[in-house]
Amino acid sequence: MCGPGERKCPVLEGAMAAAWSRPAGLNVHTFISDISFGQGFLDPLPSGEPFSAPSPLRDWGSLAHLPSVLCGASVLIHGTVGKGTDITYGLRRLGALRPRDSISQLVTQKFREVTMDLTPMHARHKAVAGIVMTQGLDARQAQVVALSSGTKCISGEHLSDQGLVVNDCHAEVVARRAFLHFLYTQLELHLSKRREDSERSIFVRLKEGGYRLRENILFHLYVSTSPCGDARLHSPHEITTDLHSSKHLVRKFRGHLRTKIESGEGTVPVRGPSAVQTWDGVLLGEQLITMSCTDKIARWNVLGLQGALLSHFVEPVYLQSIVVGSLHHTGHLARVLSHRMEGVGQLPASYRHNRPLLSGVSDAEARQPGKSPPFSVNWVVGSVDLEIVNTTTGRRSCGGPSRLCKHVLSARWARLYGRLSTRTPSPGDTPSMYCEAKLGAHTYQSVKQQLFKAFQKAGLGTWVRKPPEQQQFLLTL
């Protein structure tokens, strides 16, 4: 569309000119860009199209002179120049022209609405995350499907060998688990004999087996603050337009895989080649290690959000965009959330190296002062109840398991297995153990290994796994 020799797109050209204050002649690769007008969005521009910066180049002052169609629109552009230097500057400024209807506003408002009846103590939060579903890029059809808050992880002594706890209660991780809850509900609609029910599902059945998202169904993640790990650590508060300054930054451990530390909120680079923690070690007081949110999101950009279990039924589900509230630097986010995995290589059919559109929020919520609350809240569209999880125990306050724990979600999986169509013919018996069910998703597992190897090969460290014992429980119906 906007590549050299192709039809010019005046709006994009205008936006790029505004975003671009570098000498002409450099090639800009737009990964994903979309432009929205008033109530709806235009078709997204093709990913990876080369685009030459127009000349003469304008400065920010020229924003006022952009084509009138841009008034009241938000323009999000994300790409790189040369070797990984970013061209995302235009994004915040132009995005600021139309904050309402944005993904961040939808999530923040919904969070306020669903936590209205909570005690002030439980409504208090340091980080909020949410997943929004759209049909195409039409903002009018946007719907929040999963919400969460939280910044802490379980303490090691509460690990469960029955899958009864939620280990990681950082908002974005809980939002993904709440999203899994939503995906199960959508698949369960296909169990019904009534055609109307399966027609309501976001999934359609494939002739060759399994299910795929209906055309045009897109998902967007909002996190109120930069994901912990490398995204937050190396994210300057101010966007710098100096292309050369970043070269001189200290780069040791830049882009390195990092882990959350138990009962704290910071992260440290992964140590050594050992990728597995031991159950007895953790019970004896060894620190429980959990991968940072930056790394987990990076992983979703290759493996999808659906995880191993749902991969038996559905094609990978990727994020169309990620919107970050405070402490963001979209260029750096792009580096750590997608560019780091360039070496992942060829992926099997339906998997891809997803490069979501990345965006910041111009009027991000101010940082919440005070200590982080030891609770995490989760909400899923369609279920009235809000759930509060104690982040130290990984269970509900009453001691019962969360609806998002491995045990409860895998029970839903077991009820579907054998009754719903799978993507590859099932080898026979229903797995009896949780770990078997996960390992049975062969393609997913091989892509995961490919991703871990890519991180190692890039010198970014080894992905650390939880003790295997926590996956060795019997599936229940």
Nearer to Zn ion, 226 or 359 (CB): 226
Nearer to Zn ion, 168 or 315 (CB): 168
Binding region for Zn ion (CB under 5 A): 170, 228, 293
Q: How far is the CB of 46 from Zn ion (least distance, A)?
A: 32
Nearer to Zn ion, 160 or 224 (CB): 224
Nearer to Zn ion, 11 or 228 (CB): 228
Q: How far is the CB of 477 from Zn ion (least distance, A)?
A: 33
For the CA atoms of the chain, what is the radius of gyration? 22
Nearer to Zn ion, 214 or 367 (CB): 367
**172 a catalytic residue:** yes
List 172, 188, 208, 238, catalytic entry: 172
Q: How far is the CB of 147 from Zn ion (least distance, A)?
A: 16
**How buried is residue 280: exposed, middle or buried, by Cβ count under 10 Å (0-12/13-18/19+)?**
exposed
SS3 per residue for the chain: CCCCCCCCCHHHHHHHHHHCCCCCCCEEEEEEEEEEECCEECCCECCCEEEECCCCCCCHHHHHHCCHHHCCCEEEEEEEECCCEECCHHHHHHHCCCCCCCHHHHHHHHHHHHCCCCCHHHHCCCCEEEEEEEECCEEEEEEEEEEEECEEECCHHHCCCCCCCCCEEEHHHHHHHHHHHHHHHHHHHHHCCCHHHHHHCCEEECCCCCEEECCCEEEEEEEEECCCCHHHHCCCCCCCCCCCHHHHCCCCCCCCCEEECCCCCCEEECCCCCCECCHHHHHCCCCCCEECHHHHHHHHHHHCCCHHHHHCCECCCCCCEEEEEECCCHHHHHHHHCHHHHHHCCCCCCCCCCCCEEEECCCCCCCCCCCCCCEEEEEECCCCCCEEEECCCCEECCCCCCCCCHHHHHHHHHHHECCECCCCCCCCCCCCEHHHHHHCCHHHHHHHHHHHHHHHHCCCCCCCECCHHHHCCECCC
Q: How far is the CB of 201 from Zn ion (least distance, A)?
A: 31
Nearer to Zn ion, 76 or 171 (CB): 171
CA distance 169 to 154: 7
Nearer to Zn ion, 138 or 265 (CB): 265
Q: How far is the CB of 169 from Zn ion (least distance, A)?
A: 9
Q: How far is the CB of 232 from Zn ion (least distance, A)?
A: 8
Q: How far is the CB of 316 from Zn ion (least distance, A)?
A: 22
For the annotated catalytic residues, the residue numbers are: 172
